[in-house]
Structure 1
Amino acid sequence: MSLLTGTMLTFTSCSEENVTTTGALPYQSSFQRDADGWVAGLTDYGTAQESIMEFKSAWKGLPAPLDTTRKSIMIESMNRSDDAFMFIKKKVTGLTPNTDYSLIFDIELASKYPSNSIGIGGSPGGSVFLKVGASSVEPVKVLKDDFYTINIDKGSQNNDGKDAIRIGDIGTGDSDEVYKLITRSNQATPFNTRTNAQGELWLIVGTDSGFEGLTTLYYSKITVTPKTTM
């Protein structure tokens, strides 16, 4: 994973070597003190494209015209591969080992991309799909046949996978390209997962993009609540 300096603050609390954890669930963070242990990553592109993906992440204030004193996790990249998956992940501990959990994710993020906008390969808003999920193993970027992919099943673009499901897109619903806060949830379709023998889960939130351009998002609040213990 690559974590670069933002224009305001460096995402230092989220280096691969310093991943912090959270005990048990429910979990919520609005990132006001720090990045709360979330680590950013990018997959689904070829090695030949690595230098032109323009991947960046930072803990910083929301963009104008929003309240810039509110902190968030900014993440951005160019989608040179027409399939880039841009994500953040976090380890949760203190759960019951080898146990099924049914999770509700509530995500608040700042986006500026109109839902029905037109772009190369797809809509900057409607063709960038927001996904959430969890895995008993750490999601990591892996190299296979000169292509960077991920070691969990997140599905492809608007399709669900075993370890992540789509909960909407990043379209704002407006016609103007201006940042606004949007919310997405899987309240109607809880995500089912299972902890490992140590009572751990890796949470993941990301975007699977069909838009071949630059996407810059700001995650401002993440809440994960167990609906039931199965």
Structure 2
Amino acid sequence: MKTHITLLTGVFVGVGVFIGGCDTSGPTDATSGPTDDLTFTFDFDSGSHGFVAGFADYPPAREEDFDLTSGHGALPAPLALRSGLFISGLNASADLFMFFKGPIDGLQPGRYEATVSLEIATDVSAGCVGVGSPPGEGVTVKGGATEVEPLPALEGSWLRMNIDVGIQANSGKQAVVLGDVANSRRCEESPRWEMKSYEGRSISAPVSVSSDGRAWLLFGTDSGFEGRTGVYFTRVTVSFEPT
């Protein structure tokens, strides 16, 4: 697996965000719709395309301790001319999963192999020491696809995903590890926002699409770092291949 990093300079600036923020357009209102090979691309510079945020692997009774935030807004300077989906949280559970999800419509019923690729903006340096795990290498980026809507479900006193997204650095049946949030800067250097892209990887479990023609796409971060993580998702591509 390879990752691609574009160097950018600047510091973090706040943006107005809201939990579960989205616009009213459906996810299939993408920059490019499905092509003949069933590839969907969503560029979040133009809006959220109906994707909504979710959080799991934490006790909801302590939600205020996690400072969970999400929304769509301008990237930090000097990237203010671009926008993306922002998500942030304080990992007080040592295993916080933060994600966006959206439906993909218009598929024919059948079984598919799904491949997901991503682009993010991150200011997390590589080689840093953190509580539990490093703040860069200890936070994995995941993409997934499934026939059921991905939802946090209460198990005892904790919210857990209703699909298998794996645990931290491990892939699950419905989500695959694409990389981590560390950029090209070393920890001894001053932080700097960079774009980072992840080549497509296939989900291990096939997606079985029913007569409604719908599948679900999700992407997010799975953290072993017991601190705050905040990233922008700027683009996602998912391809479906009949099996």
TM-score (norm 1): 0.87
- CA distance in structure 2 between the aligned counterparts of 1:11 and 1:121, rounded to whole angstroms: 26
- 2:226 aligns to what? 212
Corresponding residue for 2:92? 80
1:20 pairs with 2:26? yes
Identity %: 33
Deviates further, 41-50 or 212-221: 41-50
Q: Deviations over 1:104-125 (max 9, x none)?
A: 2221100111222111111110
Q: For residues 48 and 30 of structure 1, do their structure 2 counterparts lie closer, same or farther at Cα, with a shift above 3 Å needed?
A: same
Alignment-derived partner of residue 34 in structure 1: 47
C-alpha separation between the residues in 2 aligned to 1:12 and 1:122?
27
Residue 212 (structure 2) aligned to one of 186, 198, 201: 198
Is 2:185 the counterpart of 1:174?
A: yes
Deviates more, 1:19-28 or 1:74-83: 19-28
Match of 2:70 among 57, 66, 70: 57
Q: Report whether the alignment pairs 1:70 with 2:82.
A: yes
The RMSD of aligned alpha carbons is: 2.1
| Secondary structure of 2:103 counterpart | strand
Distance 1:11 1:140, change over 3 A: closer
| C-alpha deviation, 1:48, in angstroms | 3.5
Per the normalisation by structure 2, the TM-score is 0.83
Aligned pair 1:109/2:120, yes or no?
Answer: yes
Aligned length: 219
Query: What is the aligned partner in structure 1 of residue 131 from structure 2?
Result: 120
Structure 2 CA distance for aligned equivalents of residues 190 and 214 of structure 1: 28
d(CA) in 1 for partners of 2:63 and 2:21? 24
How far the C-alpha of 1:10 sits from its partner, in A, is 5.9
Q: Match for 1:84: what amino acid?
A: L
Unaligned runs of 5+ in 1: 1-5
Q: Distance in 1 between matches of 2:56 and 2:18?
A: 22
2:199 pairs, out of 170, 177, 185, with 185
Q: Is the CA contact 1:109–1:217 (under 8 Å) kept in the aligned structure 2? A: yes
Alignment-mate amino acid for residue 43 of structure 1: A
Q: Indicate if the aligned counterparts of 2:54 and 2:98 stay in contact, CA closer than 8 A.
A: yes
Change (3 A) 1:209 1:12: closer
What residue ranges of structure 2 are gaps of 5+ in the alignment? 1-13
8 Å contact from structure 1 (residues 13, 36) kept in 2: no
- Return the alpha-carbon distance in structure 2 between the equivalents of residues 185 and 168 of structure 1: 9
Separation (CA, whole Å) in 1 of partners of 2:199 and 2:232: 16
CA distance in 1, matches of 2:143, 2:196: 15
